[in-house]
Every structure is written in structure tokens, then in C-alpha cells.
Amino acid sequence: MSRNIWTLFVASLLSILLANACIVVNEPFEGLPPGSWRGILKLEYKPISPNPKAEPLPEKVNIEFEEVSQGELPFNFEVIYDSQEDFHIEIINGEERIRVDDITIGIDRSTAKDTVIINFPVYDSYIRAIYEENILEGDWIVNNRGTEYRIPFVARHGQGHRFTTLKKTPVMDVSGRWETTFGIEEGKEPYKAIGEFEQNGNHLTGTFMTETGDYRFLEGSVQDNKLYMSCFDGSHAFLFEAKIQADSSLIGSFRSGKHYRTLWSAIPNKSFELASPDTLTYLKEGYENFDFSFPTPDGGQISLNDPEYQGKVRLIQIMGTWCPNCMDETLFLKEYFKDHPDMEVEVIGLAFERYREEEKAMAAIQRFREKLDLDYKIAHAGYYSKKEAANALPMLNQIVSYPTMIFVDKKGNVRRIHTGFSGPATSTYEAFKTDFENFINQLVKE
């Protein structure tokens, strides 16, 4: 082989290797600076619209609420070193701190730059970012939403604010309970919620409770006549904005990732209640019992009629590994039965996953069980479409929410179906725990 041909061959081979390169973890850099970081997810790409005649643009006409953040969702996290070399990240949403320690750092061969991968294994998503001069820049990628679902991400070290450093005097204190309606624009199906806010000066925390669950721990700011709240937990990216109207009502926008956006309004209402979670899902006429048979990641099958479940109280958890409310409910069940080891109650999870491919769905379920250290079985019940889930469980009138919990007594009778889950971010969580314990004790003693 001549020298020129050999040189060309080596160059071509090197080009192929670089094009397919990944992070080299055996050549790591030292790590991220400890302390506060401010991250931003850019939910919407906003190119400049050409407008040579300076005429009103169609997309700027008749908008009831114009966002100030322009789709930038901020969140805070802290880098904490456990030893001189090892560190983890804690994502901060109000009172919630989410520990993330599945972090890979090294040199990306394709860019020759220091690169960080922050994994959220329970939710099958990750952040991949280049690190330069105290700045992380890259993308948040959600595997179970497809290869194209990625949202630009940037984070800066040493910043502790969330939305703004401004301290504009709020026009009012929004603390309290708000009757809220999402989907108020034409073409959307509206749904009700309860907004629970706590304001301290400019600082704002709270959540929204719907009939299918809550929007978890939100944190933000009130500036003059505008309020902002956000949440990022590795699965959900929520951004809320609103304007405080002259009559003390609110009108605003809500974004979930880059795939969903709607408008909402709210009025103060201390007495507003949602429908009871025990009335939304029920057995259809003609069905007396709840039954199923679905495969598990270990190659087996689960049926409610399996001998190991006979003569015991059973809790059927309709859920998905991608769902933060489902994780909240799972952690509640795990802790409750850890504290009551002698109680003869069997929990069975029925997971409806975002993957069509059974192999990927099974892997997500297995990863979920391992990461949360669960001792109860979870079967793969199908795809997460609520219509398909209802077809898989034809005895139910509908699948309204993930999660949904079905209480089955020792004789196999369905005694209660609880739709949704209002978790630790809500004011109703403690009452739910008390009610759950009382009802379980009743079923066990019968």
C-alpha cells in the first residue's frame, strides 16, 4: 500500500470513529463546581418572523395572555460532593429535593469537549451537556417519547434565583385556594383544578390538584401583577405564568414540555372542591369482579386468581413508570407496608408504558422496580393510551388517570376504586393517608 493511500485510509477510518464516538469515561475531568446552579429548559424555539411591512402578525393577534418567559423554564439544582472525588446533584422544587447520582463525566470524542450525562433512570430520560467555563449546555432527552424529543438545556454555576432577581412589589398576596379552569381557549376541552399557593414576599410555592392527580411541587415568583411557577423532576417540565387582573382573578398559560400548551384562569374560592376520586372509575354493569392476566419482566404471568393472592386483601395499582404521580403513590405504598410488615395485603402493579415494543417496556418496568427497591410485582399491561388501557381492562368504565388504585377484598370483591393521586405537595395528602389506613384496616379485619 502506497504512503498516500495509507494516509487516506487512516484519515477515513479516523473520521468514521469520530462520527460514531461516545464519551470516554476513562479520561474524566475533575467534576462540576459545587454549590448552586440555575438550569433553563428552552421549551420553544422562537425564530424571528420576517415582517418587512410592519403589519400585525397573525400569531400576535387576539392573544388573551402573552408569555413573558417566552417558553424558558428555569429550575435550580445543587452540586454536592460526598467525598473529594464523588458528587451528586439535588434538583430543587420548593420543599422537594430530588437526589440524582447516576452521572457520567468525560471527554466526548466527537467534540473533544468535557461532557456530562445526568441520568434519570426511573423516568428513562437524561441530560447530555458540554461543560465549559462554569456553563453546561446541551439537551434534555426523553427516550420514551421518541428519538426526536429533546429540549435545549443550559445551566450556569453560582446562580441561585429561579425566574428573576427583581423584587417588584406584588399587587396582591395570592396565598390560598383558587378555583382553576385549564383549557379555556377555543378548541380545548376544559378541566377543573384547585390551585394552592403560598406566597412570602416575592417567593411563591404551591401546586394544582386535578381529578387525575397533582402537578407536584411548584416554585416561582410574584412580580408586580405577574406570577411564575415551574417544576422539573426528570419526567415532567411544567411552566406556569399568569397575570393578576384588576378584579383579583388570574389568567395565564401552562406548558408541559414542548408538546402541550393551554391557557388557564382562576378565581379565589376557599370552598371549591373537585369530584370525589372514589366516584370517577367503577365496574361496568354486568361485571361483578376484577380480573386480568399479564406478563412480567421475569417471563412469568400475573393473574388476580393466582394461589398466592387468594384469601388476601389485594391492591391493584394501574400505573406507568413514566408518571411522577405514580412514583409518589408507589413510594407511599412502599413505606406504608414497610411500616406494617405483618399486614396481609398484596400489591400488584399493572404498568401501561410509553413503549410499543414489549422488550423496552419490560426493561422500563424492571428498572423502575430496581431503582425504587420494590418487593411487589409489576406486570406489563399494555400501551399507555387510556383508550387502549380501557380495552385491556374492559370491566372498568374508563381509565381516567394514572395512577388508579383498586381495592379488592379477601373474597375477590372490588370495594373501592381511587382515581388519581394527590401527593406530598398537596394539602389533602395527610387526610388521604389517614383514610387509606382506616380502609385497609377495615378490609383486613373482615
CB neighbourhood size of 286 (10 A): 6
Q: Print burial letters for 163-186: b (CB count within 10 Å at least 16), e (below 16).
A: beeeeeebeeebbebbbbebebee
pTM attached to this predicted model: 0.85
Decide if 415 contacts 276 (C-beta within 8 A). Answer: no
Sign of CA dihedral 338, 420, 193, 205: positive
**8 A C-beta contact, residue 331 and residue 318:** no
Structure confidence at residue 64 (pLDDT): 54
Matching CATH topology for 14-45+63-157 and 293-445?
Answer: no
Instruction: Provide the pLDDT for residue 21.
Output: 46
pLDDT at position 16 is 37
- pLDDT value at position 8? 40
Tell me, what's the pLDDT at 283?
95
C-alpha cell, 34: 459545587
Q: Sign of the C-alpha dihedral, residues 21, 22, 24, 29?
A: positive
Give the helix/strand (H/E) hosting 183.
none
* Residues of the chain scoring pLDDT < 50: 1-21, 25-28, 47-63
Q: What is the pLDDT of residue 19?
A: 39
Q: How many CB atoms lie within 10 A of CB 160?
A: 12
CA distance 436 to 432: 6
Distance CA 14, CA 2 (A): 18
Long-range CB contact pairs, 218-224, < 8 A, 24+:
218/93, 218/94, 218/425, 219/76, 219/92, 219/93, 219/94, 219/162, 220/162, 220/163, 221/162, 221/163, 221/164, 222/170, 222/174, 223/163, 223/164, 223/166, 223/168, 223/170, 224/168, 224/169, 224/170, 224/171
Domain ranges of the chain: 14-45+63-157, 176-268, 293-445
At 260, phi and psi to the nearest 5? -145, 135
Cis peptide before 121 (omega within 30 of 0): no
CATH annotation of 14-45+63-157: 2.40.128.120
Tens digit of each residue's pLDDT (9 = 90 or more) over 176-193: 999 999 999 988 899 999
The pLDDT value given to residue 407? 97
Q: Could you tell me which CATH number the domain at 176-268 has?
A: 2.40.128.120
- CATH fold of 293-445: Glutaredoxin (3.40.30)
Q: Which of 153, 156, 137 is nearest to 40 (CA)?
A: 153
DSSP labels for 363-430?
HHHHHHHHHHT--SEEEEEEES-HHHHHHHSTTBS----SSEEEEE-TTSBEEEEEES---TTSTTHH
Going along 52-133, which residue ranges are E strands? 72-81, 87-93, 96-100, 103-108, 113-120, 125-132
Closest Cα partner for 162 from 77, 87, 247, 220? 220
Task: Tell me how far apart the alpha carbons of residues 334 and 71 are, in angstroms, rounded to a whole number.
Answer: 36
State the Cα–Cα distance between residues 322 and 360, nearest whole angstrom: 13
pLDDT of residue 187: 84
pLDDT in tens, 44-53: 755 444 444 4
